Structure 1
Amino acid sequence: MILSIFVIAYQFTYAQYTITGRVTDAKNGDPLPFATVGLKGLNVGAQTNFEGIYVIKSKVLTDSIYVSTVNYKKRSKVLDKKALSQTIDFQLQGEARSLDEVVVYSGENPAFKILRKVSENREKNDRKRLTAFEYNSYSKMELDVDNLSDKFKERKVMKQIQGAIAKFEKLAGEDGKAVIPTFISETLSKFYFRESPSRKKEIILKNNIKGVGVKEGGFVSQLVGGNIFANYNFYDNFVPFLGKDIISPLGENWKGTYKWFLADTTDVDGHICYGLEFDPKNDKDLVFVGKAYIDTTSFALVQIDATVGKEANINFIDKIKISQELEQTSEGAWLPAKTRFLIDIAELTKNSAGMLLKMYISNKDFVVNKPKELSFYDLPIEVAEDSKEPDPKFWLEARHESLSAQDILASKLIDTVRNVPIVKTYVEIAEIIASGYKRFNKFGIGPYLTSFALNKMEGLRLRLGFKTYSNFSKDWILKGWLGFGTKDKVLKYGGEVDYILSRRHWSVLGIKHSYDLERLGLTPELIGDNKIFYAFTRWGAYTGAFYRRESEIFLKTEPTKGISFTGAFTTRAFDPLFEFQYRTHPEAGKNSPTLDYYNDTFFTLEARFAKNETYIMDGNERIALGSKRAPTLTLTYQHGIKTLNGNFNYDRFMAKVFQSFRVGTLGRSDYTIQAGYIPTNLPAPLLFPHLGNETFFYNRAAFNTMHYFEFVSDKYVSLNYNHNFEGLLFNRIPAIRQLKWRLIASANVLFGSQREQNKELMQDAIPVINPRHIKGDLQPRYSFSGLDPNKPFVEIGYGIDNIFKIFRLQAFHRLSYLDHLSPSGREPKPFALKASVHFSF
């Protein structure tokens, strides 16, 4: 008895209390690193690590424990004084705060001296000083549904998973909100980077993917890798995210854009660091708020927690948060060891739910300054053949860190949710809207956008098409469609067979044939990839109609990254439904015979240069993600052949340059420069028709105050320039800054000409006697005007983007050729108002 009393007394005298826990965001469950946790009334505490976990050891306890961190409300909880060990988690509510409310400076801000040192030492600390680096990576991605209102929970689909919701509400904690996972993935990969020339490559070694509506395939496998898309560098002037350029707090404009406060010093993995808090001077700009930790000796960035709030001019987003912890390499430069980012997608309506996209990336085993040969980087993203690894035992050893209780529960829940019938229906509808096709296992039916149209030539036009997927074949791609008009009663059709020769160098051999009704100046090769605009041109009056029969065999290949070539042999038959003729022997003048149709046989050679272009593979399709900073150049040469069923020998030269670039804090611009030259005399439809726009819809690639086929050139050069100020001006007008409008401006300029020989070619001569058409059923004849070589066509535009987050309204003024008639004799419109609907962040 005496011994027991002695042991108890000893424990209370020399005991050490241990308190552990995790601090997370109450709304989304995201861990909060470097939050301060302490015992109230004592100078005893700790800071949370990158995972939001803290550990406090103390010989004495007080009544309560508290936690505080930047931009969150301070919280306290009662302690159990009898327990030697206890776990106390915190869920913190966000709170807006401006540094101006808490900081008063006398003299220069002490943070400025530190930031100048960061700038001075940027060159030796930035990863750009390395010639190459590589590392092993583990990433985890999760997509959740959050902000579940009571009304939303009453919906039929949610009632079927009420049990799962209850489990997550319990797991969220007393102060947190439940989030329902719909997708979770784990990925092991190897990432490689080479500085000069700049190349990236990520090899996906193993994947563990589970999600609602997710099908097995390379597309998802590549997206979950993470390092290609989330390799943020805060030393750069801008941090790219969701197609936006967010001003970096450590870039060159750190002083002009941000307010700074020297908060504290702390130990980050053995590095004593200054803690610097930063706040934007204008929260409507694309800027961060957060805290950066700077090493006191090397002045390198060791960790940063940066958040973009819903006040910023970004659509559909409540919050973007990036947390990054860096590790110093043997060469002195720092690489990201851990990165976590979160996108909190807002609810579209009051009674809908929001979405959360969370990703965690852990990197280790850094190897620097050992670049691979250039050919190694040809495929930016590569998925290993045996990448799928369902064995749980493998992942227990392979993970850099263990899964949380929420991760384990999420995996079980997804298995249940994705088999709910109504969920399957919603997934199929969403896939049809996104891809345009109703997908089956090996093929898809569509696209729905061109499935029907109504015009004066065809009446009601119906069209049905299909294409095969990689489940059908990983080498062969089949496409086909049938169309029919209730008025012209002509069957239209098309088919294509492609064979993938190489995925590494993306080489495709194909053959296709089609017969369809087209329009002058609105053919697919002129409109390009704007499928929505092309679909709209099939409605209405349908002027300049002609039937075209086309056959083509082509080969595309990319021998090295960023450089691709295309060769094609094509035959086309032009059969117009308007009064048309051209002189077959123009040297005979009016005595020349004429034809009202032609056959065109030609071959095409095209070279495309797109430096640093990134792309991913979606089954048998390659999806380009754009080329950053560098312009994309396309050079094309075509040669017409008269001997192979063609009516003309000719040469055609074309060039196109496109670039999108940042103009500092003024916003983002893009331009397209095009030029063409045909030294041969040809009928007007074979020259360069300039793309007009008679619809109410804005078209970036068109001249929006020009009629269809109003001008035709045999040589030309054009510029289409667009600039988006991204809220730069509207963000500073108090009355409208909450609307998040964005001022836009554009200018389109065209220099062109048409030789007299080409004009004479289209003049009257011996009339064509053609029994193919009944008198009176043809549309009127068109004029094929050329531009004055000394007078450019010019239009300027201005407008507002982001109206209600989806509308764009732009006015255009035509500044030249104000008395020029359209091909059908209509007066020009000096002013046009165009609108468009598009979703952008």
Structure 2
Amino acid sequence: MKDIFFAILGLLCFTVSAQTKVGGIVVDELGEPVSFANVFFKNSTEGTITNDDGRFYLESETDYTTLIVSFIGYTEYELELTSKVMYDLTITLGEAAEQLNEVVLIAGKQSKKNNPAIDILRKIWAKKRQNGVRQFNQYAFDKYEKVEFDLNTIDSALIKSKIFKGLEFVFQDLDTSRITGKTYLPIFLNETFSKVYGDNKLKEEKEDVLGNKNSGFENNQAIIAFVKDLYQEYDVYDNYLKFFDKSFTSPLSRTGIDTYNYALRDSAFIDNKWCYNIVYYPRRKNELTFKGDFWVNDSTYAIKNINLQVTKSANINWVKEIYIEQDFEVLNDSVFLLKRDYMLSDFSFNKKEESRGLYGKRTTVYDNYEFNVVRPREVYKKDRNPLDVNQIIKDDEFWEKNRLESLNKDEKGIYTLLDTLKTVPKFKSYYNIVSILGSGYVEVDKWNLDLGSVYDFFGYNSAEGPRVRIGARTYFGQNDPWRIEGYTAYGFTDHKFKHGLAGKFLVDRNSRFIISGGNRRDIEQLGVSLTATNDVLGRSIASSSLLTVGANNRLTNINLSALNFEIEPLNNFKVSMGGTFRTLSSALPNDFSLDYVDAESPTGVSSEIRQFDFNALLLYTPGKKTIGYGVERRDVNDTYSTLLLNFTKGTKGVLGSDFDYSKLQFSYSQPWQLGGFGRLMSTVELGKTFGEVPLGLLSVVPGNQTFFSNYGSFPNLDFYEFVTDTYASVHLQHNFNGRFFSRIPFLRKMNLREIVAIRGVWGDLSDANKALSAPATINTPLRAPSEKIYYEYSFGIGNIFKVFRLDFNFRGNYLDNPDARPFGVTGTFGFVF
């Protein structure tokens, strides 16, 4: 989903009624920018703070004639506004000869002692409460959400560029953002109306989407899922606010006084309630922080209004601006309700003022609250087929009644504009390019097929040499009840064709009962994960990597057939049962052996394994959110944990199967968001094989002989260096998101991120299994890390040029193994925020 977003951003590389618009830069007498200077309209509570580069933009629906700019140590500047719209202002602040008692000047380091703003902040903590709906046994409210994406920084050069030749009509109606002052062109708009029900006693909440209206990219679920992941819910009273996989310190956090400067700027009546205005801005650069101000009630110490703007120096990629506004309705001393939430993100490849990009804007309005109405528990039953868009697309009459905030003139025109745009062939071509880059598939509408994936077209390994692969899948729509997919591949060294064919059929939508099956005959690098799946068309990068460490020649010919049945009796809980039949043999017998002792063979040794297995799997993913209702769904988030229990029973004699055995496997993966300290990923895996099986059926500790960083593998282990029938493994990887690099002056501007990891595994291998696979030990020694836990540790540097990550991997022990690699460097490439 992120790939589609960045594809749009690269390819692209209405009027909001207002009476007064001003923008520009504040500098000192030497021409240096003045950061965090106060800019506000005279005799008003409307103002802003300059950013790191001294720039500001301020807009109001009121007609003002005077602008005030102030900063500690400088003379207050008063500017007459001779026009309703004044951009590109340069305001020079002169050094103050003396301090004016009647002027409140805010900037620089603020004291933590005898600071009235800090005193108010402590009272906010003392009376800190959850959202007001938590004060009632039951609650319900209406929720209206509007999400819009716009191409911004429109100028004559862009309008006249070749990319928009023939599309000039889209630029006829342009206006400026009330936050940044930039012109913009809408390219996507989505509206959703929901009814939210909650029961605090049952600890249940349910959101029923009653209406949806979409334009621009129609009902593209990849876009919708990305938007939902992009704009997660948040509570400004939390210590940390999560945006774009990053945790920002909230200005209302208990750790805020160590992160922000606070100052009391003003006090005034707002909706007949006396409120204080507190300004805040970061103490240090390059941290995940905001700047802005909030109004707080003088008796309840509940927030009435708050705005948050991410500082330009914050260590976050592809996002130039984030601006948030929230308005609360304070009912009484114990109840405050969120009324309106607005968030604007300015996505761009760099943070220069003139750079073009995309606005992502979300507006959420809450209304019609009701409390203490008891509803049956069944009301809160989660829908396992969320967002059946076709059933909730509503007509204009519905939206006239249920829009909690009216569309302005230009928002109303977006639907017409975009519907017209989709009929233009050139726009269709651009859309197709974006779709290919994002999904990896080329759509052939007239055949209802997708060709791809384009990213699997070429590969290389020691057995096949250069390899090409061509694939296709059926595609009638995003919610197809069935899908068939296949591929064929050819190796230019072994001169052999390979193939794979698989199908999935959704029998019952309510229970998510799915039948799947297929066959694959190919060359594969087995043993790249401990807890393997039976995905018929799955293929590891180790099987096709162009560059490897050492001889990557332990490859396997695999002929796999599978039939599987799965069902979801509970939300996010899947039960799966099925059978597989596979034959395994070495793809390079002179370099790698899968031979085993076979008393029934004339030679006493067999080189091919024939095995039928019965598989039963339980998969629980609490907190997982999905979108769509077809046989294949998209994940919306990546913050959920995963618990897997897998049982495999091999039965000798069935379809000529060779071995009787049982295997039990368990894995648990959990991401941990640790506030300002970053994100920790943890995985525990346990497994045991009962019975005697040869090398091809044992559990291989996953090595990594590629140059790609791969979580879950051991980058300093060769493939098949350790083989087990009993194992326990732990992987821990922590990304500090630049917390320490940001404090080092000469590294600060590079926005690098530090990653540390440690991984370990203990395993055992019975004497009986060693004896069974004795013929294979000619070129594949059978060892298990049973004497002591094998471990590795890594130090990584991420965000190099915003797209690269390098990991420096160290082997902790077993250095006496033949060809043991004590050190290695791996890397990865990708677009991350």
Shorter-chain-normalised TM-score: which range?
Answer: 0.7 to 0.9
Letter in 1 for 2:725: D
> Could you say which residue in structure 1 is the equivalent of 2:97?
none
Change in CA separation of 1:583 and 1:430 when aligned onto 2, cut-off 3 Å: same
> Could you say which residue in structure 2 is the equivalent of 1:272?
274
Residue 549 (1) aligns with residue 559 (2): yes
> Could you say which residue in structure 2 is the equivalent of 1:583?
597
> Could you say which residue in structure 2 is the equivalent of 1:191?
196
| Aligned-pair CA distance for 1:763 | 1.7
Residue 248 (1) aligns with residue 245 (2): no
**In structure 1, the residue corresponding to 2:745 is in which secondary structure?**
coil
Structure 2 alignment gaps of length 5 or more:
1-16, 25-37, 49-57, 94-103
| Aligned-pair CA distance for 1:184 | 1.8
> Higher relative contact order by CA 8 Å / sep ≥ 6: 1 or 2?
2
**In structure 2, the residue corresponding to 1:735 is in which secondary structure?**
helix
Deviations 1:134-192 (A, max 9, x none): 321222221111124655444212343345435316x779x943212211222222234
Residue 819 (1) aligns with residue 816 (2): yes
Question: Aligned equivalents of 2:130 and 2:823: distance in 1?
Answer: 55
> Could you say which residue in structure 1 is the equivalent of 2:442?
438
Residue 312 (1) aligns with residue 314 (2): yes
Residue 804 (1) aligns with residue 801 (2): yes
Matches within 5 A, 1:627-706: 628=639, 631-645=641-655, 646-706=657-717
Change in CA separation of 1:199 and 1:804 when aligned onto 2, cut-off 3 Å: farther
Deviations 1:282-320 (A, max 9, x none): 231111111122222221122210111221000111111
> Could you say which residue in structure 2 is the equivalent of 1:343?
345
Match of 1:762 among 758, 761, 773: 773
Change in CA separation of 1:384 and 1:77 when aligned onto 2, cut-off 3 Å: same
- The share of aligned pairs that are identical, in percent, is 25
> Could you say which residue in structure 2 is the equivalent of 1:111?
117
Question: Aligned equivalents of 1:614 and 1:130: distance in 2?
Answer: 27
Q: Is the 8 A contact 1:533 1:699 kept in 2?
A: no
Q: Is the 8 A contact 2:461 2:543 kept in 1?
A: no
> Could you say which residue in structure 2 is the equivalent of 1:833?
825
Question: Aligned equivalents of 1:531 and 1:734: distance in 2?
Answer: 44
**In structure 1, the residue corresponding to 2:123 is in which secondary structure?**
helix
Question: Aligned equivalents of 2:424 and 2:683: distance in 1?
Answer: 48
| Aligned-pair CA distance for 1:520 | 3.6
Q: Is the 8 A contact 1:201 1:379 kept in 2?
A: no
Residue 593 (1) aligns with residue 596 (2): no
Change in CA separation of 1:498 and 1:631 when aligned onto 2, cut-off 3 Å: closer
Question: Aligned equivalents of 1:132 and 1:220: distance in 2?
Answer: 34
Instruction: Report the more deviating stretch, 794-803 or 491-500.
Output: 491-500
Letter in 2 for 1:533: I
**In structure 2, the residue corresponding to 1:433 is in which secondary structure?**
helix
| Aligned-pair CA distance for 1:126 | 5.6
Question: Aligned equivalents of 1:532 and 1:641: distance in 2?
Answer: 27
Deviations 1:608-661 (A, max 9, x none): 222222222275422234464x64221111111113121111110111111111
**In structure 2, the residue corresponding to 1:467 is in which secondary structure?**
strand
Match of 1:387 among 383, 387, 392: 392
Query: TM-score scaled by structure 2?
Result: 0.83
Question: Aligned equivalents of 2:336 and 2:827: distance in 1?
Answer: 47
| Aligned-pair CA distance for 1:197 | 6.9
Aligned length: 768
Match of 1:367 among 366, 370, 373: 370
| Aligned-pair CA distance for 1:725 | 1.2
> Could you say which residue in structure 1 is the equivalent of 2:576?
566
**In structure 2, the residue corresponding to 1:699 is in which secondary structure?**
coil
> Could you say which residue in structure 1 is the equivalent of 2:166?
160
> Could you say which residue in structure 1 is the equivalent of 2:495?
489
Change in CA separation of 1:532 and 1:424 when aligned onto 2, cut-off 3 Å: farther
> Could you say which residue in structure 2 is the equivalent of 1:423?
427
Question: Aligned equivalents of 1:689 and 1:662: distance in 2?
Answer: 31
Question: Aligned equivalents of 2:68 and 2:122: distance in 1?
Answer: 32
**In structure 1, the residue corresponding to 2:715 is in which secondary structure?**
coil
> Could you say which residue in structure 1 is the equivalent of 2:284?
282
| Aligned-pair CA distance for 1:722 | 0.7
Residue 414 (1) aligns with residue 418 (2): yes
Question: Aligned equivalents of 1:96 and 1:830: distance in 2?
Answer: 59
**In structure 2, the residue corresponding to 1:273 is in which secondary structure?**
strand
Match of 2:753 among 735, 742, 746: 742
Change in CA separation of 1:661 and 1:92 when aligned onto 2, cut-off 3 Å: farther
Question: Aligned equivalents of 1:172 and 1:626: distance in 2?
Answer: 29
Q: Is the 8 A contact 1:443 1:468 kept in 2?
A: yes
Q: Is the 8 A contact 1:307 1:322 kept in 2?
A: yes
Deviations 1:202-248 (A, max 9, x none): 3332222221xx14355556677x69944220111111111111111
> Could you say which residue in structure 1 is the equivalent of 2:182?
177
Q: Is the 8 A contact 2:585 2:607 kept in 1?
A: yes
Q: Is the 8 A contact 1:470 1:620 kept in 2?
A: no
Deviations 1:754-791 (A, max 9, x none): 111111111249xxxxxxxxxxxxxx953242224231
**In structure 2, the residue corresponding to 1:681 is in which secondary structure?**
coil
| Aligned-pair CA distance for 1:835 | 1.3
Query: TM-score scaled by structure 1?
Result: 0.82
> Could you say which residue in structure 2 is the equivalent of 1:510?
516
Letter in 2 for 1:806: V
Change in CA separation of 1:481 and 1:517 when aligned onto 2, cut-off 3 Å: same
Instruction: Report the more deviating stretch, 613-622 or 232-241.
Output: 613-622
Deviations 1:491-519 (A, max 9, x none): 32222221213444433221222211222
Deviations 1:683-704 (A, max 9, x none): 0121111111111111111100
Question: Aligned equivalents of 2:543 and 2:423: distance in 1?
Answer: 36
Q: Is the 8 A contact 1:583 1:592 kept in 2?
A: no
Q: Is the 8 A contact 1:202 1:381 kept in 2?
A: no
Q: Is the 8 A contact 1:439 1:445 kept in 2?
A: yes
**In structure 1, the residue corresponding to 2:286 is in which secondary structure?**
coil
Letter in 1 for 2:208: I
Q: Is the 8 A contact 1:73 1:92 kept in 2?
A: no
Change in CA separation of 1:815 and 1:102 when aligned onto 2, cut-off 3 Å: closer
Change in CA separation of 1:476 and 1:172 when aligned onto 2, cut-off 3 Å: closer
Change in CA separation of 1:792 and 1:222 when aligned onto 2, cut-off 3 Å: closer
Question: Aligned equivalents of 1:746 and 1:320: distance in 2?
Answer: 31
**In structure 2, the residue corresponding to 1:122 is in which secondary structure?**
coil
| Aligned-pair CA distance for 1:393 | 5.0
| Aligned-pair CA distance for 1:667 | 2.1
> Could you say which residue in structure 2 is the equivalent of 1:64?
65
**In structure 2, the residue corresponding to 1:759 is in which secondary structure?**
helix
Residue 233 (1) aligns with residue 238 (2): no
Q: Is the 8 A contact 1:466 1:481 kept in 2?
A: yes
Residue 793 (1) aligns with residue 790 (2): yes
Deviations 1:428-482 (A, max 9, x none): 1221111111123333111112222233422442222222235397322222222
Query: Greater CA radius of gyration, 1 or 2?
Result: 1
